[in-house]
Amino acid sequence: MPSCDPGPGPACLPAKTFRSYLPRCHRTYSCVHCRAHLAKHDELISKSFQGSHGRAYLFNSVLWLLSGFKGEDRKRCPWGFREEMLGSTPALQTEMELEDLQKDLPHYLRNLSSDDADVLVWDVLLLPERSPYNLRAFNVRISFPEDYPMSPPTVTFTTKIYHPNVGDDGQVCLPIISHQNWNPSTKAYQALKALNELVNEPNLAEPLRLELADLLTLDSEKFHSDAEKFTLQFGVPRPS
């Protein structure tokens, strides 16, 4: 895949520069649709466009703004808007993030991959550092929505884990990817880093399994004993 590095440039594009990329109707607020759409998402134009994905993120952001336009409004777009443009950008974004992460995989991750047919789904092996979870490894799946990075990915354990912040179905209560906290500039590697930290240090303020949070609070020795047995039974052998 060719490099998308934009080369040297400012770390942050100001709103004025961002608006210069938009079609004329967006820049002048000459139509009701533009005024409403840009007013609603005005915070997006102040986001930082840093690193090798700056232009890709900018392109995604502009197309996302355009995604709110329908029918005749799209036909008037001076760029010659095409539906397939919107469908391709999340895949491009995740593919670039995947390649970057594979080149410099953190010590707590192994076997990061995606299906060639669907780059919006990643699988990775998590290797926590702290007891009792460091006795085994855990398979994790990251699923990216069709409007990524405007909406957060979901993270699911496909290996059973005895943890207060992970539900019986493998869903994780991870603040960084919650809809309330999500920032479109957040990258998948940051979510995986936060996941590793959460597994090592459970967040008892926001548990998904109250009974485990209560047990850890009231009888940590029994919790760790039960968690160790569970981890040895269901965890994946750690690679050397």
The 10s digit of each residue's pLDDT in 91-101 is 889 999 999 99
Report the pLDDT value the prediction gives residue 240, as an integer from 0 to 100: 83
**pTM given for the model:** 0.66
What burial letters (b/e) apply to 36-62, b meaning 16+ CB within 10 Å? ebbeeeeebbebebeeebbbbbbbbbb
Q: Residue 151, SS3?
A: coil
Which sequence spans correspond to the domains of the chain? 15-81, 95-234
CATH label, 95-234, candidates 3.10.110.10, 3.40.190.10, 3.100.10.20, 3.40.50.300: 3.10.110.10
- Rounded to the nearest angstrom, the gap between the alpha carbon of residue 21 and the centroid of all alpha carbons in its chain is 25
When comparing pLDDT for 14 and 151, which is higher?
Answer: 151
Residues labelled as active-site residues? 173
User: Could you read off the pLDDT of 50-65 as tens digits, one per residue?
Assistant: 443 454 555 555 554 5
Identity of residue 205: A
